[in-house]
Amino acid sequence: MDTTEMDLASLGAGCFWCCEAVMSQVEGVIEVNSGYMGGHTKDPTYEQVCTGETGHAEIIQVRFDPTRISYAQILEWFWGMHDPTTLNAQGADVGTQYRSAIFYHSQSQQETALASRKAADESGRFSGPIVTEITAASHFWPAEGYHQDYYRLHKSAPYCRAIIAPKLSKLDLES
């Protein structure tokens, strides 16, 4: 029986397909699920979230082994996989559902996220100020099954070839 304790990170960084493709390759990450969080609509569908009227962000929930990767290290990947200076947009994906967000699950995660955002903002590696929201996690609504593990299952799809593969390459991950 595996008694390893897992930890959880909930992150919004634009399209969840892109985020899942990155985080699923990170050492110490056990599982990544795409879904929705931060809104007011119960059990939202992708079509509802795409309207921007549910308040939800597309996010990934990352289960990770804290003995192999820390929450702070997860956040370093988060800063690298998107542009946290663009409000409610990542590239051609525009709307509140694509906002940059960290949903914390504990006071310790909140403190780590605030410190990480401050350090990233002061690092000079971004062209403008970071606009990432940091807020308490709420209910996680898993996305429909066809969104899960999307990149691995659809590598030849135009969006995957044009957007996700170059992102993986930039981060020195397998595309």
Residue 91 structure tokens: 């590239």
pLDDT tens-place string over residues 65-117: 999 999 999 999 999 999 999 999 998 899 999 999 999 999 999 999 999 99
Q: What is the pTM of this model?
A: 0.95
Q: Kindly write down the DSSP assignment for every residue of 68-114, as one continuous string.
A: TS-HHHHHHHHHHTS-TTSTTEETTEESGGG-EEEEESSHHHHHHHH
CA distances (Å), origin 99, targets 34, 109, 113, 144:
15, 19, 16, 20
> What residues form DSSP beta bridges with 60?
11, 34
CB 37 within 8 A of CB 12: yes
Confirm whether 15 is a catalytic residue: yes
> What residues form DSSP beta bridges with 134?
102
Domains of the chain, each with CATH number or no CATH: 7-170 (3.30.1060.10)
Question: How far, in Å, CA of 99 to CA of 149, rounded?
Answer: 21
Question: CB neighbours of 99 closer than 8 A, spacing ≥ 6?
Answer: 12, 57, 87, 88, 133
Residue 75 structure tokens: 């956040």
Instruction: Tell me what pLDDT residue 2 has.
Output: 52
Residue 90 structure tokens: 């990542």
Question: How far, in Å, CA of 107 to CA of 136, rounded?
Answer: 9
pLDDT at 148 over 50: yes
pLDDT at 124 over 50: yes
pLDDT tens-place string over residues 17-57: 999 999 999 999 999 999 999 999 999 999 999 999 999 99
Instruction: Tell me what pLDDT residue 107 has.
Output: 98
Question: How far, in Å, CA of 84 to CA of 110, rounded?
Answer: 17
Instruction: Tell me what pLDDT residue 4 has.
Output: 62
Going by pLDDT thresholds of 50, 70 and 90, the confidence category of residue 1 is very low
DSSP 4: P
Going by pLDDT thresholds of 50, 70 and 90, the confidence category of residue 5 is confident
Question: How far, in Å, CA of 170 to CA of 175, rounded?
Answer: 10
Mean pLDDT, rounded, of the chain: 95
Active-site choice (15, 18, 19, 160): 15
